[in-house]
């Protein structure tokens, strides 16, 4: 199950678990769509993998399987 991290690890922008603005790689490095495209050109700066749209978690399942509250921010 995806961690659904709550923020962009580059600019620290909040990312909703049921929104469509998050981009992730296969290691779940998480970025906002703006940083993923404009700064990193669709490639994860940590592992070099593709950054793709994170699937949203349906609201009905967020209560049972909440998103992570752990914020990750790195200097990119």
pLDDT digit string, tens, across residues 13-60: 999 998 899 999 999 999 999 999 999 999 999 999 999 999 999 989
Entry pTM? 0.91
Query: What's 52's domain CATH number?
Result: 3.30.40
Domains: count for the chain: 1
Residue 1 has a pLDDT of 86
Task: Select the more confidently predicted residue: 41 or 62.
Answer: 41
Residue 1 within a domain: yes
From the list 51, 55, 19, 56, the residue with the least C-alpha distance to 38 is 51
Residue 73 within a domain: no
Residue 49's domain comprises: 1-58
From the list 29, 55, 56, 57, the residue with the least C-alpha distance to 42 is 29
């Amino acid at each position: 199950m995806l961690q659904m991290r709550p923020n962009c690890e580059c600019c620290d922008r909040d990312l909703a678990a049921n929104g469509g603005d998050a981009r992730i790689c296969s290691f779940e490095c998480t970025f906002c769509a703006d940083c993923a495209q404009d700064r990193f050109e669709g490639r994860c700066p940590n592992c070099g993998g593709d950054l793709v749209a994170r699937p949203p978690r349906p609201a009905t399942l967020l209560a049972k399987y909440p998103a992570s509250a752990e914020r990750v921010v790195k200097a990119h």
